[in-house]
Structure 1
Amino acid sequence: MDDVSYRELFRPIIRKVMEDYQSNSVVLQCGADSLSADKLGDFNMSVKGHADCLQFLRSYNFPLIVLDGGEYTIGNVARCWCYDIVVSVGIEPDNNLPENEFIEFFWPRLPASYCAH
């Protein structure tokens, strides 16, 4: 399951849920198990594809509580949660990170297609 395949499933399902339930707020649990290289999952999503779901829900302009979770590869978790946080507040992230003691958790060790560029 890649970014495009997941998007093609996620958007129509969520659109229907939002129409039927007419919610005025949403709590979204954004498990990162769907990311490429997850030790237990078989999905092949990028951080950017993962955040696309969050951006879609934000488009409804409802109060949104975002809970991250899941994933067993620490670098994936760091990248995903960081990206989700900036997307959830409507900021386009800058990939130019300053030097810091945790930098190794943010630079991908995976193919470039996985990165949130």
Structure 2
Amino acid sequence: MAFRFEELQVWQKAMFMNEKINELAKTFPKDEIFILTSQIKRAADSVVLNIAEGSTGQTKPVFKTFLSYSLRSAIEVVSCLFIAKSRGYIQDDNFATLYTEYEVLVKMITSLRNSL
């Protein structure tokens, strides 16, 4: 692996979740394409991108800052999931699975941030 972030389990988990969110967003109605679809995809992308950006050639305090951005973006994804559920775009069981997976991801990001 050429880049440090590729070895991070938290980045790998964020990439896995990013794909799940991308697949979910494809099922949203077309009238949400520039609203909720765009928002949830950008937030999920931001989780991955901030972990990668902060991990490479940065000081520990800078990396912590980027992990904080990543954490906030993960929470944004969860909020988008609640909106999708309230609008009937996601079933309860799929919501619960994604919610639990993001709970794990948030804990991973927080643990890494606290370890620095």
Give TM-score scaled by structure 2 length: 0.33
Higher helix share: 2
